[in-house]
Every structure is written in C-alpha cells, then in structure tokens.
Chains A and B, each alone.
Chain A
Amino acid sequence: AQSVTQLGSHVSVSEGALVLLRCNYSSSVPPYLFWYVQYPNQGLQLLLKYTSAATLVKGINGFEAEFKKSETSFHLTKPSAHMSDAAEYFCAVRGGGGGFKTIFGAGTRLFVKA
C-alpha cells in the first residue's frame, strides 16, 4: 500500500530564508510523486511532479524537489521564501502506470514572517 508522511504540520520561515518541506513516501512500485499547493479558498494547484525522469524536479514559483530513492524522500525546497508562498502544501504519491489513485499527505502549512 502507498502512503505519504509529511514531517511538520506547520513550518514558519522568515522572508528570504530557505524553505524546506519534508516528505517521505512508501510505495511497492516505482511511484509518481507530486507536490501541490493550496491557497485559501482555492483548489489544489500542481507545483511539480516526478515521473521517473530527472531526480531533481523544478516546478512553478521557484520551487524544486529532489527524489531520493535510497531515503524514500521527496522534499520540497525554495531558496528564498516570499510572503506570497504562505499556503498549505501537500505531498502526494501515485503508483506507476498512471492509472491509480493519488494518495495525499496530511499537508504542511507554511507561514512566512516579514
């Protein structure tokens, strides 16, 4: 069975500081991995995805994530936080083949301090 664990339900950083949101997954088959972001009163928006190509994936708004098979991790980073990055972030996993449901982590709410 697939599962996703996001470490830290809340993360607070200062504007301009590094953003690091942690995600570990378990999957019995090579997975597809995703990060989504949700702004208040909106649906989830895809930030980036890993689908077995390059292990370092670049997404929108300056975010990137690195797939590390040995650590079963897919942490999300951004070098410099901006106030507009304040939102809730979800890591998600889906089995290989693209035909299976996506399992979401519990979410990490990012706060950015001025």
Chain B
Amino acid sequence: EAGVTQFPSHSVIEKGQTVTLRCDPISGHDNLYWYRRVMGKEIKFLLHFVKESKQDESGMPNNRFLAERTGGTYSTLKVQPAELEDSGVYFCASSPRGPYGYTFGSGTRLTVV
C-alpha cells in the first residue's frame, strides 16, 4: 500500500509569504495528525483530524496556521504570513482508529528567511 505522502519535501520562503503544505494519508485511515520539529528540538503536536473534523487543535501555535482536511482525505496546512520562527520540519502521520502506531510521511522542511 502507498504510504503517507507529503509535499513539497522542501520549501524556502521569505518572511511574510504564504506556504501551503499538503499531506496524503494512507487510504482508509480516519486519523490524520500534523507535527512539527523545530531545530532538533522535540516533536510537537499541532493538530488531529478524525476524518474531516478537527478533533484536537490545541497545538496550533497561532491563527497564522490553518489546517483543513478535504472530504476526510488529504490535508493541507497553510501558514500565512510566515515568520522566521515557523521554520522547521512539518510531519504528517495517519493511523486507523484504535491503539495503533502512526505511519509518518517524510516531512516538509520549511525554511523562512
């Protein structure tokens, strides 16, 4: 089966610009998660979708971040306007319902200059 796909793999943008990250989870996985790792620090939770609904968005840093999951399939994470501190690797993961581990994508490395 296809894994979790993220694109772009790298993005370099200027402060103030907008960037949209996309995640395609494994087909049939109801749960979709976004995480971020900044400068080798801890992997921080951003938000959790169950199908198209936001189950938990307590980790979203501020209102410059907007996540959507269209029809319970792919998800996008938009940062608008981007700030320097938004730089990091953004990971998407998906899982079926239940006590399962996650399948991660390879991540999008975002650099804001």
Contacts and interface: CB of A to CB of B under 8 A. Distances in A.
A103 interface: yes
Interface size of B as a range: 20 to 34
Contacts of A103: 45
B45 A43 contact: no
Given A42-B106, A43-B107, A101-B33, A34 B45 contact: no
Contacts of A44: 43, 91, 93, 102, 104
In this complex, the member of B97, B102, B103 whose beta carbon has the largest number of chain A beta carbons within 10 angstroms is B102
Interface in A65-114: 90, 94, 97-107
Contacts of A14: none
A91 B6 CA distance: 23
A100 to B, nearest CB: 8
B99 interface: yes
B25 interface: no
B45 A45 contact: no
A92 B38 CA distance: 18
Contact of B106 (A43, A46, A94, A106): A43
A99 B41 CA distance: 25
Given A49-B100, A97-B99, A98-B100, 14 more contacts: A32-B99, A36-B104, A42-B106, A43-B93, A43-B104, A43-B107, A44-B43, A44-B102, A46-B101, A46-B102, A46-B103, A49-B101, A101-B56, A102-B33
Interface of A: 32, 34, 36, 41-46, 49, 51, 90, 94, 97-107
5 contacts: A44-B93, A44-B104, A98-B97, A102-B45, A107-B43
